[in-house]
Homo-oligomer: A and B are copies of this chain.
Amino acid sequence: MTATSAELRSDLHEQFARIGKAVASPRRIELLELLCQGERSVDALARATGMTVTNVSQHLQELSAARLVARRRDGTRIYYRAADDTVCSFVTELGAVARERLPEVERLAAEHIDDSTKMEPLTRSELLRRLGRGDTVVVDVRPMEEYASGHIAGAISIPLDELGRRLRELPKTKLIVAYCRGPFCVLAPQALALLRRRGFRTRRLEDGLPEWRAAGLPIASGS
């Protein structure tokens, strides 16, 4: 009885470790984070990460063996995506644990996103309240495809590259709230810095889309 239950435990832990091994590589974590923003082909991933196609493919095989990603063929290319929401909230929590436990993480973030500390972020519940009142514009500054594959309900898409050209779309009378991929994403801080220089009232949303989704808040998709 104890023999078989010890056996069960060890078999079970071996299975758990398959998931752990999948997220034991910085490359695979990067891939997973990208895939949580929307589906991508192998070479789109290679371009986005600077890895060789072969290498990306190999990492995707391993993620696939751990069933963390799913694929879909369309003509000559194959699109990968995160297998489901629990996977994305898991990698999000992985980042949260790293942030909580490893002082290096805060330090790195502080070094590179210098002004992130100056402005304190708007909480998700606060944004939700404001959305009802209509005195707030929410801007998704990620690339357009990521917006298309899922965004905060009511947000408009202005990718960071286009922001300079599209300032007139934003009202000076309302509060502009920007968000992007997560707490360490540099897009929203850069967007807000630009907007503030032009005299807009701005706030950053705390964290990013994955956390909004994990909290079960309303998502829309399509352009």
| Chain A contacts to B: CB under 8 angstroms | 4-21, 23-27, 29-30, 50, 66-68, 83-84, 86-87, 89-90, 93-98, 100-102, 104-105, 108-109, 111-113, 184, 186
Contacts and interface: CB of A to CB of B under 8 A. Distances in A.
Interface of A is mostly: helix
A15 B99 CA distance: 9
Contact of A105 (B15, B27, B87, B108): B15
B97 A12 contact: no
Copy number in the complex reads 2
6 contacts: A15-B105, A16-B94, A17-B25, A83-B101, A86-B100, A93-B93
Max chain B C-beta neighbours (<10 A), residue from A12, A105, A108: A12
Contacts of A83: 101
Contact of A6 (B9, B10, B50, B102): B50
